[in-house]
Amino acid sequence: MDALAIIVPIGIIATVGAFLFFEKRAIQAKKDKESQGLLPPSVEDFYEKFKRYDTVKNSLRFFGTSYVVSLVLATLSYNPSYGLIHALAYIFLTTFLGSVIIFALKYNKSILVKVFAGFLYGAPHIAAAAFAFLTRYILS
């Protein structure tokens, strides 16, 4: 369990950094599409907004990055004798603290942007970290 004190900060730094990288790519994709002369989507058109920011592609790439980071950390620190609590503690702590950091970084944004950014960080990260620890467990 002492390994959590080491891998949780590494996991947070790596995944929040990856999230910010893919968020920057999403903003750049929006700027590129607007520079092509596309009209901005209407307020109600969420599908068009998802396309404009390449949300699905960037979320999948973030999922893949989170999976690799979590798998490396699980490989370095996870021992099946720890049981499920070690994996769940890592998943909860990195997701919760990462979401708090994302929420704080979006301090000046609207509450909808904060919640949406937190969701786009948390949902893929939870699934990726769970699959990473499952992979590590199966391979051990």
65-85 mean pLDDT: 90
Determine what percent of the chain is predicted with pLDDT higher than 90.
49
User: Confidence band (pLDDT; 50, 70, 90) for 46?
Assistant: low
What residues contact 71, with CB distance under 8 A and at least 6 apart?
132, 135, 136
Let me know: does 62 contact 18? Beta carbons within 8 Å.
Answer: yes
How far apart are the C-alpha atoms of 21 and 129, rounded to whole Å? 19
32-46 mean pLDDT: 68
Residue 26 has pLDDT above 90, yes or no: no
Closest CA relative to residue 82, chosen from 46, 136, 39: 136
pLDDT of 106 reads 87
What residues contact 61, with CB distance under 8 A and at least 6 apart?
22
101 backbone φψ class: left, alpha, beta (φ>0; ψ -120 to 50) = alpha
The H or E element that residue 20 is part of is helix 4-35
How far apart are the C-alpha atoms of 63 and 122, rounded to whole Å? 10
Residue 1 has pLDDT above 70, yes or no: no
pLDDT of 82 reads 81
Q: What's the mean per-residue pLDDT of the chain?
A: 87
Residue 123 has pLDDT above 90, yes or no: yes
Residue 44 has pLDDT above 70, yes or no: no
User: Confidence band (pLDDT; 50, 70, 90) for 54?
Assistant: confident
User: Confidence band (pLDDT; 50, 70, 90) for 39?
Assistant: low
Residue 56 has pLDDT above 80, yes or no: yes
68-79 mean pLDDT: 92
How far apart are the C-alpha atoms of 11 and 13, rounded to whole Å? 6
